[in-house]
Amino acid sequence: MIGSSSTPSTHSYTLPKEDPIGDILSASDYFKVLGVDKKANSDDIRRAYIKKSRFCHPDKAPNDPRATLCFQRLTEAHETLAHPRTRLHYEIIMDNDQSQTLLNCPMDEATAQEVFERVVHQLYTEMVDGEFQTMRVILGAVNDAYPSLQVSDELMNHTEDVLLKIRDLMFSTKKYYQVIEDELLQLYELQQEMRLLGIFDFKQRLRLSLAISRSLLMLPILINNATKKNKDVGILGTYLENILQFVVNHL
């Protein structure tokens, strides 16, 4: 009997590196730029735009020279497909095999940034309107657990007023836009995750409700910290700032 030993051959295999910016730049039409089906509705279009903006915005990829062109192309795709009239026009162009011409002529950088800020502004307004009632319930529960905080209805109203003031301040001056951009987009992603849950998934719904409230309360705190660089008190005042920070730390 002849003993033989065999050593399994090893082949070095490297998984291809993901290149989302390259994928967008090489896409053959706007639907592929956004990574959506041709039956996608306006919410699907916006959701895809926000998601992809998080990695291809020039501020997020400052070391990639392709980021600006990629972001311009992504924004052009959103603007074209998000509105029924321009989408119909584009689909007619696609049928005539002319969509590549548009891909090679993206909007300029300033316009792309302006569109992005408009979309985020719309998100902020919708989220403040849609989530503040949930936050009121959670603030009420925090007040029951820590009555010494004295989280009154008046304080909740003041917090809501501050959130609305931030909306006007941020998008009229654009001074504090970048301060809350990441938190705002994270809040949007939490909302999308919530919408995918089953109606009886109470545990996950509670977890996400707390995370959404925490993220929403972080917005005025972040703006407050930024304004304190120019003022001693900030836009919240010491009392409201301390309460909001306490609530965020305990959620």
Q: 131 and 77 share a domain?
A: no
Percent of the chain exceeding pLDDT 90 equals 15
C-alpha to C-alpha distance for 207 and 196, rounded to whole angstroms? 14
Higher pLDDT, 114 or 144: 144
C-alpha to C-alpha distance for 201 and 83, rounded to whole angstroms? 34
Q: 148 and 238 share a domain?
A: yes
3-state SS track over the chain: CCCCCCCCCCCCCCCCCCCHHHHHHHCCCHHHHHCCCCCCCHHHHHHHHHHHHHHHCCCCCCCCCCHHHHHHHHHHHHHHHCCHHHHHHHHHHHHCCCHHHHHCCCCCHHHHHHHHHHHHHHHHHHHHHHHHHHHHHHHHHHHHHCHHHCCCHHHHHHHHHHHHHHHHHHHHHCCCHHHHHHHHHHHHHHHHHHHCCCCCCHHHHHHHHHHHHHHHHHHHHHHHHHHCCCCCCCCCCHHHHHHHHHHHHHC
pLDDT band at 197 (very low <50, low <70, confident <90, very high): confident
pLDDT at 5 over 80: no
Q: 74 and 134 share a domain?
A: no
Q: 134 and 98 share a domain?
A: no
**Per-residue pLDDT reduced to its tens digit, 75-130:** 999 999 998 888 877 877 776 655 455 555 556 666 667 777 777 777 777 777 76
Q: What is the pLDDT of residue 2?
A: 44
Identity of residue 139: L
pLDDT band at 52 (very low <50, low <70, confident <90, very high): very high
Q: 101 and 116 share a domain?
A: no
**CATH number of 69's domain:** 1.10.287.110
Percent of the chain exceeding pLDDT 70 equals 81
CB 74 within 8 A of CB 68: no
CB 201 within 8 A of CB 162: no
Lowest mean per-residue pLDDT among 134-138, 156-160, 243-247: 134-138
The model's pTM is 0.59
pLDDT at 30 over 80: yes
pLDDT at 12 over 80: no
Q: 115 and 100 share a domain?
A: no
Question: 3-state class of 201 per DSSP?
Answer: coil
Q: What is the pLDDT of residue 21?
A: 92
Q: What is the pLDDT of residue 232?
A: 59
C-alpha to C-alpha distance for 189 and 51, rounded to whole angstroms? 8
Give the mean pLDDT of 197-204.
84
Q: What is the pLDDT of residue 173?
A: 62
Q: What is the pLDDT of residue 74?
A: 94
Range of the domain at 80: 20-107
Give the mean pLDDT of 3-13.
45
Q: 157 and 53 share a domain?
A: no
C-alpha to C-alpha distance for 52 and 108, rounded to whole angstroms? 18
Q: 70 and 135 share a domain?
A: no
